[in-house]
Amino acid sequence: MTPKTTKRPDGRANDELREMKAKTGIVKNADGSAMFSFGNTVAIAAVYGPRKLLPQHLQNPEKGKLRCYYDLASFSVTERKKPGPSRRSSEISFVTGKALEPVIRLDNYPNTVIDVYILVLQADASTRCAGINAAAMALANAGIPMDEMVTSVSIGKMGDIIVADLTKEEEDFTIEKNGKEEKAATDIPIAVLSRSKKISLLQLDGKCTKEDVKEAVQLAKKVSSKINQVQMEALKKVK
């Protein structure tokens, strides 16, 4: 096997996450709220509920509903993002909900809804992952019964290395091939349940071997406990 040659632009080790910061209780009106950041990526989440689900025909007498809304603030990205939902944000909202739902005891709350609102204030890649980390904290902060926490990180293949917590620069990594710049980064956002280490979100775009994906999942599982540590410490810091 040839030695790996790619180096991360910010000098991080391959399994090293950016500095993480977290805080709860930032939206006073909400039942629970939190902020989570990976370096320059900052997401906030607010949880309302369980509350009555209206109109009534949407209600499910067997279990509650979890709704997630992910959005980028217009000024969170370099070129202004037009406010309001897009196809991208709708899909991320959807997969975020599915990443969180496995841990939530929705059968405790028939006919109700739990709403999770995620707003990215500053984006430097891995926004959906920061959003999921904030949302899991906000859900716990809102006193929602959960089997375990959800942690999320974006794993990337950059050149010939697999790295944790991609930045925008790394996402845009290219190599020169036959005199042409060619995209050489693959983004693999993964959510790992904190205790069972099961995977509740897995997306990939780019180009990978099966081995690469296996390695990525293993790396996500490995760094999950570090993320969970930050979530736990912030939750325990009760004002």
Interface residue with another protein, options 4, 7, 88, 145 (CB under 8 A): 145
**170 versus 212: smaller Cβ distance to another protein:** 170
Asked if 158 contacts 168 with a C-beta cutoff of 8 angstroms, the reply is no
DSSP 104: B
Q: Which of 185, 123, 182, 170 is nearest to 9 (CA)?
A: 170
Smallest gap, in angstroms, from Cβ of residue 107 to another protein?
A: 13
Residues 6+ apart with CB under 8 A from 3: none
Nearest to 125 by CA among 164, 171, 82, 93: 171
Q: Which is nearer to another protein, 188 or 191 (CB)?
A: 191
Binds another protein (CB under 8 A): choice among 89, 127, 133, 194: 194
Site size for another protein (CB under 8 A): 62
H helix or E strand, kind and range, residue 95? helix 87-100
Of residues 91-130, those binding another protein (CB under 8 A): 103, 105, 109-112, 115, 117, 119, 121-123
Binding span for another protein by CB under 8 A among 4-12, 22-30, 156-164, 207-215 = 22-30
What is the DSSP annotation of 174-221? Answer: EEEETTEEEE-EEEEEEEEETTT--EEEE--BS---HHHHHHHHHHHH
| Least distance in angstroms from the C-beta of 163 to another protein | 22
Nearest distance in Å: CB 58, another protein = 13
Using rule CB under 8 A, residue 199 touches another protein = no
Vertex 192 angle, CA 201 and 106, to 5°: 75
- Residues lying near another protein in the complex (CB under 8 A) are found at 26-32, 40, 42, 44, 46, 48-53, 61, 69, 71, 73-80, 83-84, 103, 105, 109-112, 115, 117, 119, 121-123, 140-149, 193-195, 228, 231-232, 235-236, 238-239
